[in-house]
A and B are shown apart, each in its own frame.
Chain A
Amino acid sequence: MKINPKDLPLPFADFLGRLKQQGFIIGVDHYLHLQTVLEIFGPEYLPGRLKYLLCPVFATSPKQQEQFYKTFDLYFNLEKPGFELGAEQDVVTGKQKPKTVDEKKRPGIKARKFPYVLAGILCVIAVAVIVYCLVNRKLPFVPDTKPDVVKEVTVPGETETIEITVTPPSDLPPLTFFQEYGDAIRWSCIILPLIVFILWEFYRAKQRKLVLERQRGKKPPFV
């Protein structure tokens, strides 16, 4: 299916949206300039250096320049250690910006970092629990090999002793799969979705890193 250039997303659209939230004024001419700069210089520049190329297009003051560098590093996972999320300042007033409802819901950078550790821990726990459940699972009934038990029953009034043979039950139905492996299945249903969620976070974080490589080879959305 041929893709209409008009349907292609604008490059760095999400990142520019983030800049707008921080008080940057971004107009149509900024998008055009961004496109021009990416076309001319984009293929030669590593992601980390791209910020020096793009910042002059958007920043109009020393504060905005600093804010742009920080935002770029955070957004494309190039942040330096020690930077605290939530310290974003409005570039016009200089005051700390309160988080919007969306930002509160959206997981922060710290949340995206610990999935790596959490996934490892959960995998270990999942494996341990499943192994435990398998080892301690209910075993199917194994009939006793002893011979029939003979019981002596004394009937009142009678002096004879009657022998009753009690045959141990040997035809009980075997345990079903769920009866045998139920515990292991239950734990898997709890832990596996968590692992899938964490892997999804990995994928999203990687997608952000790849977006720069994707943008480099991109053709403009307009002819």
Chain B
Amino acid sequence: MESPENYIAPEGLRDAVNVALALGQPLLVTGEPGTGKTQLAASIAHELKLPGPFAFYTKTTSLATDLFYQYDALRRFQDVQLGGREKGTDPGEYITYQALGISILLSLLPDEADSHLPEELRGKGPARSVVLIDEIDKAPRDLPNDVLNEIEKMEFTVKETGSAFRADRTYRPVLVLTSNSEKNLPDAFLRRCVFYHIVFPSGDQLKQIVRKRFSCRPGITPEFTPDFIDAAVGHFEGIRKMDLKKRPATAEFLAWISILKSLGADKGSLKDHEKALGLSYSVLAKNREDLELLEKKSRVG
């Protein structure tokens, strides 16, 4: 993940974060891939100087309880079978707390929570922290429906041990959810979230992102000239207007101009570097048809 201090949040996104903090609600962020949804959580943790983000990367097989903890039933069974009566008696030994569970535990007093927290976090509570649940739309539809109460009250129960934990109001976790909008989320879930859609950055915003992102990486790329940045952004905006199956986003753009620099295409006009442009398009295109279209564009000019 890129350094969070280089993250540039649009005005509307900053306001959405402030509203989520004020209301104590999760922030649901959508947008094209590569627009900085995932990095937002790191940026929030950096700006507010909070632990985290504790990340949970949703899978198509994720369950609601996976957000809070995982229970290794198989290992316990193995220990009981092989270790006899001494092992496997305490189910708590087979519980591993996950992102949201850790964050809720961290909000509690050390006496209550330290025995459940990883070693590196013991003694650091009570503290507010940032949690990232990435691409929640990937999960089965049951998952958002199953965590409505838990997200609203920031509490969960470990079925295997019967322990219940509820976050301290003062140290309520900051929850950031991202979605690629592949599936519609349930209305009841959306009602409990603060929503923001990150629109693709404008030309000026892209230039700002490039300057900020590459200013602290002199070893990889010395500073780009303003003319090169203008030309690259203009060319990229032209590519985005093309009839591509999958339009490249910010992440691809940043990788692309790094490639252009390494191919020596940052000197003079971009039009003079047809060959380099053609080679660089493999970073932007996500399929064969798009790549052919882009190569055709570079030949036509």
* B and A form one assembly: yes
Find B196's partner among A29, A33, A40, A65 (CB 8 Å cutoff). Answer: A65
Q: Which of B11, B22, B30, B194 contacts A40 (CB 8 A)?
A: B22
Q: Which residues of B contact A37 (CB under 8 A)?
A: 19, 22-23
Instruction: Please tell me the number of chain A residues within 8 Å of chain B, measured between CB atoms.
Output: 20
Residues of A within 8 A of B16 (CB): 52, 55-56
In the complex, chain B residues whose CB is within 8 Å of the CB of A55: 12, 16, 196
Q: Which of B23, B27, B193, B197 contacts A62 (CB 8 A)?
A: B197
CB A32 to nearest CB in B, in angstroms, measures 9
Assembly CA distance A65 to B194 (angstroms): 12
Residues B59-115 near A (CB distance < 8 A) = none
A56-B195, A65-B197 in contact; A36/B22 too (CB < 8 A)? yes
Q: Give the distance in Å from the alpha carbon of A60 to the alpha carbon of B195 in the complex.
A: 6
The distance from the CB of A52 to the nearest CB of chain B, in whole angstroms, is 4
Picked from B12, B19, B22, B190, the residue with its CB within 8 Å of the CB of A60 is B190
Contacts between chains A and B (CB distance < 8 A), count: 54
Can you name the residue of chain A whose Cβ is closest to the Cβ of B31?
A: A62
Is B20 engaged at the interface, CB distance under 8 Å to the other chain?
A: yes
Query: Residue B227 at the A interface, CB < 8 A?
Result: no
For residue B187, CB closer than 8 A to chain A, the reply is yes
Closest residue to A58 on the B side, CB-wise? B195
Are A33 and B15 neighbours in the complex by a CB distance under 8 Å?
no
Q: Which chain A residues lie closer than 8 Å to B196 at the CB level?
A: 55-56, 65
Answer yes or no: A127 CB below 8 A from chain B CBs. Answer: no
A41 within 8 A of partner (CB): yes
Interface status of B215 (Cβ within 8 A of chain A): no
Is A207 engaged at the interface, CB distance under 8 Å to the other chain? no
Known contacts A25-B187, A60-B187: A53-B19 contact under CB 8 Å: yes
Residues in chain B near residue A56, CB distance under 8 A:
15-16, 19-20, 27, 194-196
Instruction: Assess whether B208 is interfacial by the CB under 8 Å rule.
Output: no
Q: Given A59-B195, A65-B195 in contact, is the A52-B30 Cβ separation under 8 Å?
A: no
Query: Which residues of A34-93 have CB atoms within 8 Å of chain B's CB atoms?
Result: 36-37, 40-41, 49, 52-53, 55-57, 59-62, 64-65
Q: B269 near A: Cβ within 8 Å? A: no
Which of A33, A36, A53, A56 has the largest number of chain B CB atoms within 10 A? A56
Residue B217 CB within 8 A of the other chain: no
Q: Are A49 and B191 in contact (CB under 8 A)?
A: no
CB neighbours of B262 from chain A (8 A): none
Q: Nearest Cβ distance between residue A124 and chain B, in whole angstroms?
A: 44
Complex contact B15–A52 (CB within 8 A): yes
Chain B CB within 10 Å, residue with most, of A27, A41, A55, A64: A55
| CA distance in complex: A60, B177 (Å) | 13
Closest to A55 in B: B12
Interface status of B205 (Cβ within 8 A of chain A): no
B263 to chain A, nearest CB (A): 36
CA distance A57 to B16 in the complex (A): 8
A36, B23: Cβ atoms closer than 8 Å? yes
B18 contacts A by Cβ under 8 Å: yes
- Expressed in whole angstroms, the Cα–Cα distance for A55 and B197 within the complex equals 10
Q: With contacts A36-B23, A41-B18, A55-B12 known, is A62 near B191, CB below 8 A? A: no
CA A49 to CA B11, docked complex, whole Å: 9
Q: How far is the CB of B29 from chain A (nearest CB, A)?
A: 10
Q: Which residues of B contact A59 (CB under 8 A)?
A: 195, 197
For window 181-205 of B, CB contacts with A under 8 Å fall at 181, 187, 190-191, 193-197
B→A interface (CB under 8 Å): 11-12, 15-16, 18-20, 22-23, 27, 30, 181, 187, 190-191, 193-197
**4 closest Cβ pairs, A-B complex:** A62-B197, A60-B190, A56-B16, A52-B15
A-B contact pairs, 21 of them (CB 8 A): A25-B187, A25-B191, A36-B22, A41-B18, A49-B15, A53-B15, A53-B19, A55-B12, A55-B16, A56-B19, A56-B195, A57-B23, A59-B197, A60-B190, A60-B195, A62-B181, A62-B197, A64-B195, A65-B195, A65-B196, A65-B197
Given contacts A56-B194, A65-B197, 8 further A-B contacts (CB under 8 A): A25-B191, A33-B23, A37-B23, A52-B16, A53-B15, A53-B18, A55-B16, A62-B197
